[in-house]
Structure 1
Amino acid sequence: MTFDIEGGVRRLILILGDQLTAGLGALADIDPQRDHALLAEVMEEASHVPHHPKKIALIFSAMRHFAEILRAQGMQVHYVTLDDPHNSGSLPGELQRWTQQLNPAEVHLTECGDWRLEQSLRHCGVPIHWHQDSRFLCTREAFAAWAQGRKQLRMEFFYREMRRTSGLLLNPDGTPEGGAWNFDADNRKALPKGVHPPAPLRIEPDAITTEVLELVSRRFAHHYGSLDGFDYPVTAEQAERLWQHFLANGLADFGDYQDAMADDEPFLFHSRISAALNIGLLDLRRICAEVEAAYRTGKVPLNAAEGFIRQLIGWREYVRGIYWLRMPEYAEGNRFGNSRALPEFYWTGRTRMNCMRQTIGQTLEHAYAHHIQRLMVTGNFALLAGIAPKATCDWYLAVYMDAFDWVELPNTLGMVMHADGGYLGSKPYCASGQYIKRMSNHCQGCSYKVSESTGESACPFNALYWHFLMRHREPLERNPRMGMVYRNLARMNEARQQALWDWGERLLARLDAGEML
């Protein structure tokens, strides 16, 4: 079947589920009368890892809402639902099918956020006009140019360059506001008693979202995670409400408590905008400008404004640059040769370790955990236990609402697992249970004792931490940032070291046997 359209179709524009932005590169200079948009819900993208049902629902609902917005603007939109009997099941398949039906003069597409998907589209047999993703401050080419000739690509130096380029939080003479580029040392406070985070903004599902929730419940019932209480923004207007709620109620305390964790407090002073930002419902430049304005008008302290901006134009842009610079080889990194399977409790939350139970439990409920929970709880355990990097990366990609390959893979493989050998991070982010005790109240309600390192009542993080250091002594002891911990290890007597090694071995054997810790 072909479409008989007077004058013919000038452009067919494929819009992906994480490209729901009116100013998208591929949507520039459109002719609503002759240009057609294509959006497709396909099983390949929804199931190449077992994505959290809330994540699938977010993307499908946001896609359907965006299609309606385009139609309201006069755009001719072809929307393929998951249940469409003609659905080919893949985005290359849908692009081929609709190209044959419409016979457009040109096909346009904005850069993908997933190397796997972009390669499949580049080799699907359809000539494509590719557009840069202008939603980011740093293009792939600009990052590659910055990286050229550098032995180490440290985020801090990239971040300073981004500050200079954007002009954010700079004095008139180009020096950083407050006399320093980074106020991270001020952003490591545990949550004190009597300090209460703001109530999260709840967005009720409309008719479109309700229909999507029913679809996801029916088609993805076997995926881990709950659909109950879905309240995420699925339009730019809803995302703006969520952003303004944080700006008014959370940003001022974000700096102090961004690393804090607490029982039954999944959100604390975090914005929850990362998923909306990553699928295109919010504009990065405007968000950063409003954060700077809040600081300059005295509404928020500098450590909060700088810390938030650093997450966006520092880490977020940096890991995207690393991803496109190093793929596909980067995904195969396994510096420590880890091969252990991911424990079942990562999918169920059934564990005696309260910090893991809290983080995994809220992840299964909300498809959300903040960066320290991901790095220093679930990630730290995976690193210490020697879980295979691919299994760990696939889990993070599956369970988190905001996880797309460009941002998830470098953060997990590089930052969490140190599987890239230090290309992204200068040291492994490993810690014993003492770090979790310092930054949370999780240890108070735990079956294990954080003050003990060996024996049935001891916190598993403690022995696994020292076991990790001992089994990887040769590559890590020479690292200048690891010198102190290895000096502490050397001060332990031989009997103590042997006891920690033996108990670590016993814990790992239990993991291998599928026993619950």
Structure 2
Amino acid sequence: MAELRTLVLVLGDQLDLDASAFDDFDSGQDAVWMAEVAQESRHVWSGQPRIALFLSAMRHFAQALRSAERTLHYTALDAADNAGSLDAQLTVDLQRLRPQRLVMTAPGDWRVLQLIKSVAAAQEVPLEIREDRHFFATVRDFAAHARQRKSLRMEFFYREQRKRHGVLMNEVDGEPQPIGGQWNFDSDNREAFGPQGPGFVPARTRFEPDDVTRDVIELVQTRFADHPGRLESFAWPVTREQAIQALDQFIQDRLPMFGRYQDAMWPGEPWLYHAHLSAALNLKLLNPREVVAAAEAAYHRGHAPLPSVEGFIRQILGWREYVRGIYWTQMPGYAERNALNAEHDLPAWYWTGDTDFACLRDALAQTLDHGYAHHIQRLMVTGLYALMLGVQPQQVHAWYLAVYVDAVEWVELPNTLGMSQYADGGVMGSKPYIATGKYIQRMSPHCRDCRYDPSQRTGDRACPFTTLYWDFLMRHESLLARNPRMALQVKNLARLTPADKQAVTERAAAIRHGEVGHA
């Protein structure tokens, strides 16, 4: 066998033929390494839709590499010589292939980065880690932004990004200004559906499984039969071509109404006007630049209104880039933070959906069916309940990482531990996002068919969200009173008599002990 100059390592979320790791690739003396290993589906109890998406996308990318005539060393999950873990498989293959060096694009997971560094060092093979060009901002860019501020807020980072990349910008008197005269159109967005519901909603972009995906589905259902989730409706994009089609269909069919209904919920309607592109973005099947450009072009040709386009672009150019910067500038200690000292266990029914809370039952059912829930269901239903219940944030993080198809740690961890659970004490967001059941009643009809009443905080019919809201305020009163954005909510505690507070505490204890909420 000819001497191997470079072995390019490609992980399951790096499926980009134009990645920096391939910049000087020479098919005559270099090769690509990929491996499917069971440990990556078991270090958290990954759901079947997530496992299937990663494996199918990897196998399709392997086909693309072969079509590009790039030599590939690929270990399938069901291969007889599969070593079972990323480090073990890489060790075995380095000893067999003996490359002069390893090259890879920077991974999106701190744990995986340390693992690969450790293997390379142990095998005495030089490892070159290259910049991930997939993002608008580098980690160094974000670190420079952070050094200029006492506290981090996404809005200011987002404005910098808009200016730097000229997105939705005009020049006025020689100065860059946002199109429409304002940076943020939240006040024009975030409506609820009327009492009759969303009416006609454009169909989800579906991709029927081909032979490769069907093989993967059968493998996952056999090998990971005890893992949560279902694969009957699996239809996610698993190739670059499918991802582009999904982007085009979102821009055409759903972007015009995206902003208006981006926070709305409706029972049995998981897809609504959302993009469903985050998984393709996080696997690198799509580049965020083409996603932002497509949305901006839709505005300029009059296809979609500015509030919708700005709201969508803010999620990509602002929030997505911001959470990546938080992750890589705060790790590894960030993953262990627990600012509220939350120690309760995650309810077992998060893994099954067996609860009589209408809103949670709906969000969990679609999560298990599709590996998907939109951002309000994650933040203000599943996340809100765990936060106010007092669940240990690391357990919440493990659940989100396991069940959602778009979950890669760099994006999932800050969104869950920071934004959703406030376990970082305010690094990600300026306050805990807490609300009574009235918020869910305002944004959806779930409460109409629920046995619990969001207007009641105590008693057998009291909505657990409402009970836990008041309990949360009482338990963290001294901390929250120092937060200007929470001061008004804390002041409302003065309306409660000692007897009221005692009743809330007792009802909250019953909820934590599992006496409330089972189906």
Smaller-chain TM-score range? over 0.9
Say whether the 8 Å CA contact 1:331–1:409 is kept in structure 2: yes
- The residue number in structure 2 matching 1:311 is 315
- The residue number in structure 2 matching 1:459 is 463
Show CA shifts across 1:455-508 (max 9, x none): 111211111100000011011111100111112221333333332233222222
Query: Match of 1:431, as an amino acid?
Result: A
- The residue number in structure 2 matching 1:56 is 51
> What 5-or-longer segments of structure 2 have no aligned partner?
none
Q: Confirm or deny that 1:331 pairs with 2:326.
A: no
Query: Match of 2:352, as an amino acid?
Result: T
Q: Secondary structure of 2:513's match? A: helix
Q: Secondary structure of 1:175's match? A: strand
338-347 or 122-131: which moved more?
122-131
Q: Percent identity?
A: 50
Q: CA deviation at 1:94?
A: 2.5
Q: CA deviation at 1:100?
A: 2.1
- The residue number in structure 2 matching 1:384 is 388
Q: CA deviation at 1:451?
A: 2.5
Show CA shifts across 1:216-256 (max 9, x none): 11110010100112101110101111111111100000000
In 1, Cα distance between equivalents of 2:165 and 2:91: 40
For residue 354 of structure 2, the aligned residue among 326, 350, 354 is 350
Q: Secondary structure of 2:264's match? A: coil
Say whether the 8 Å CA contact 2:384–2:434 is kept in structure 1: yes
Say whether the 8 Å CA contact 1:450–1:458 is kept in structure 2: yes
In 1, Cα distance between equivalents of 2:88 and 2:128: 18
For residue 46 of structure 1, the aligned residue among 21, 31, 41 is 41
Q: Confirm or deny that 1:147 pairs with 2:146.
A: yes
- The residue number in structure 1 matching 2:66 is 71
Say whether the 8 Å CA contact 1:14–1:95 is kept in structure 2: no
Say whether the 8 Å CA contact 1:323–1:410 is kept in structure 2: yes
Show CA shifts across 1:179-229 (max 9, x none): 111112222200223543211122110011111111111110010100112
In 1, Cα distance between equivalents of 2:163 and 2:55: 38
Query: Match of 1:336, as an amino acid?
Result: L
- The residue number in structure 2 matching 1:127 is 126
The root-mean-square deviation of aligned C-alpha atoms, in Å, is 1.3
| 1:41-190 to 2 correspondences below 5 Å | 41-124=36-119, 125=121, 126-173=125-172, 174-190=176-192
| 1:293-442 to 2 correspondences below 5 Å | 293-442=297-446
84-93 or 235-244: which moved more?
84-93
Say whether the 8 Å CA contact 2:356–2:517 is kept in structure 1: no
Q: Secondary structure of 1:481's match? A: coil
Q: CA deviation at 1:163?
A: 0.6
Query: Match of 2:64, as an amino acid?
Result: I
- The residue number in structure 1 matching 2:200 is 196
In 1, Cα distance between equivalents of 2:474 and 2:151: 26
Q: Secondary structure of 2:270's match? A: coil
Q: Secondary structure of 2:295's match? A: helix
In 2, Cα distance between equivalents of 1:187 and 1:35: 50
In 2, Cα distance between equivalents of 1:75 and 1:33: 9
In 2, Cα distance between equivalents of 1:279 and 1:509: 39
Say whether the 8 Å CA contact 2:270–2:366 is kept in structure 1: yes
- The residue number in structure 2 matching 1:227 is 231
Q: CA deviation at 1:145?
A: 1.4
TM-score scaled by length of structure 2? 0.96
> What 5-or-longer segments of structure 1 have no aligned partner?
none
118-127 or 152-161: which moved more?
118-127
TM-score scaled by length of structure 1? 0.96
Aligned residues between the structures: 510
